[in-house]
Amino acid sequence: MDSEESTRYVIVRPEKGCLTDLFRYALLGAATSSSVDVEEDRRWVILVSILVLKLIAIFSIPMFWTGRFLDFSLNLISLNGGSLFRLLHNFLHANVVLPERGSQTFVSTIGQLDARVDLQFMTTEEEEEPFFKPQLGNRALMDLCIMSSKLAYENPRFIQNVVNLRWMMHFVDFYHCWNDFQKQMSTQLFILCDKPKDANLILVSFRGTEPFDAYDWSTDFDYSWYEIPNVGKIHIGFLEALGLGNRDQPSTFYSNLQGKYTTNSQSSLLSGIDSDEDDQSFMSQTPPQEEKTAYDIVRTKLRSLLEEHKDAKFIVTGHSLGGALAILFPTVLVVHQEMEMMEKLLGVYTFGQPRIGNRQLGRFMEPHLDRPVPKYFRVVYCNDIVPRLPYDDKTFLYKHFGECLYYNSHYIQKNVKEEPNKNFFGMRFILSQHLNAVWELIRGLTMGYIKGDEYKEGWFHILVRIIGLAFPGFSAHCPTEYVNSIRLGKESSIHMSSI
């Protein structure tokens, strides 16, 4: 299949239908935008996906305003002494500090759950200078990756302050990029170097799923895919988040992935549109030319930084949705045969990452990520639901690939090909999941006394753990579990060489 006409894809469009359409599709099929026939035994899978996406859409506005209210309230409390009593005291004395969104002191909901920002491995025993060796498998590198993944949820000024003043590294820039799934500048990332001159390491960190962003959760639960011949099937929502196509015009995926790709995001998206009518309908949804896509920005900036820092290698990281984009970025580099840049790839570390494609995609990428040493590590904590999405069974096409570093609730690491209970839902796992959530609540209440103040959990985090008694897979997705896994887990038995 080497032509646009022979490409295969399935696109789920829940917003285009109503309950009548769902009922008709359940009985007759043919309710998706698709270039392939969907097998009968997979019809229910798409039906469930549509129902979940519609449910998320119903709650999208309440989720948004809940998130805004929670962000403001938590920052108001933290800026005024950290308790309601101190807030009341400041109010009575007309001394209340109001939070300013986007400032160095404004912290995201993720940051409120876990206030840690410092790296664990910063100095040598002999000298008070920043200490970091870009060595794959080094705990300092793993700690940098998870802390960068957590930091990506914050605003640019907050991130710059932490990177430059707390980590003593060089903040390159923060980017808001066009997301074709959400039709807004919602794909976010930042880039840093370990030092401003003669850097050894360049790090790209993608922001993950926002807790109250319905569009982010919709991406995780979407079933749509696009097939690249001889490469494999890739999750369409993640392709759109990188700016590599638009499901309203499936031909754009062909243009960006199989046709000739250009660095001009607008021209590359518009290429391959055949009719004037298509041109006009698509133009209204195409971002202005200055609104670049994440793939364009990262590839262009990385090329510039690698030319500037001749001995540097780069690493890509992210939590949740950010982890999916982190592994998808080098995948598309290989598709575009950017082999010179791939030679500079030190590694990919993802945390709580959803599946991005099928088994063929894994086989396509493994030669580029396993030699001469493993470069791709997928870290999974216990009952985290997101690495179990989308489903991996006989009806779903999605498969994980790469090394899985699995940590149980005691932060004991196991190097496996697949995490236990790979599809999460199942009667035989329900009891153990809820019992484990009870244990995690007890551990959260006592951990600060056992492991030290660094691991003490505040009232907001304890509240999330209580909610986790009913929804254990979602509370287990918190970046706190991944920070603790890296810092408290047993040393990795995998041997990896340094640069």
Domain limits of the chain? Answer: 116-244+293-488
Q: What is the pLDDT of residue 130?
A: 46
Q: Quote the percentage of the chain above a pLDDT of 70.
A: 78
Strands (E), 71-136: none
Q: Is 391 helix (H, G, I), strand (E, B) or coil?
A: coil
Count Cα atoms within 13 angstroms, Cβ side, for 70: 18
Please state whether the peptide bond connecting residue 372 to the residue before it is cis, i.e. omega within 30 degrees of 0: yes
Query: CA 155, CA 374: separation in Å to the nearest integer?
Result: 32
Is 477 assigned a catalytic role? yes
Query: 50-54, 394-398, 406-410, 412-416: lowest mean pLDDT where?
Result: 394-398
Q: What is the pLDDT of residue 306?
A: 97
pLDDT in tens, 51-79: 777 788 888 889 889 989 999 999 999 99
Q: Kindly indicate the confidence band of residue 270, based on its pLDDT and cuts at 50, 70 and 90.
A: very low
pLDDT for residue 30 is more than 60: no
| Marked catalytic residue, from 320, 392, 461, 485 | 320
Mean pLDDT across 35-47: 54
* 373-406 burial code (b ≥16 CB/10 A, e <16): ebbbbbbbbbbbbbbbbbbbeeebbbbbbbbbbb
> Model-level pTM?
0.86
| Marked catalytic residue, from 194, 216, 222, 384 | 384
Mean pLDDT across 38-59: 68
Query: CA 387, CA 355: separation in Å to the nearest integer?
Result: 7
pLDDT for residue 267 is more than 90: no
Q: Kindly indicate the confidence band of residue 269, based on its pLDDT and cuts at 50, 70 and 90.
A: very low
Q: Is 357 helix (H, G, I), strand (E, B) or coil?
A: strand
Edge-first strand listing for the sheet containing 33-34: 33-34, 8-11, 225-228, 232-235
pLDDT in tens, 85-129: 999 999 898 899 999 999 999 999 999 999 999 998 764 444 444
Q: What is the pLDDT of residue 128?
A: 47
Domain 116-244+293-488 CATH assignment equals 3.40.50.1820: yes
By residue count, the chain amounts to 499
pLDDT for residue 319 is more than 60: yes
Mean pLDDT across 252-270: 62
pLDDT in tens, 217-239: 777 777 788 999 999 999 998 99
Nearest to 212 by CA among 55, 49, 59: 59
Is 320 assigned a catalytic role? yes
Q: Kindly indicate the confidence band of residue 268, based on its pLDDT and cuts at 50, 70 and 90.
A: very low
Higher pLDDT, 325 or 82: 325
Is 118 assigned a catalytic role? no
Query: CA 93, CA 112: separation in Å to the nearest integer?
Result: 26
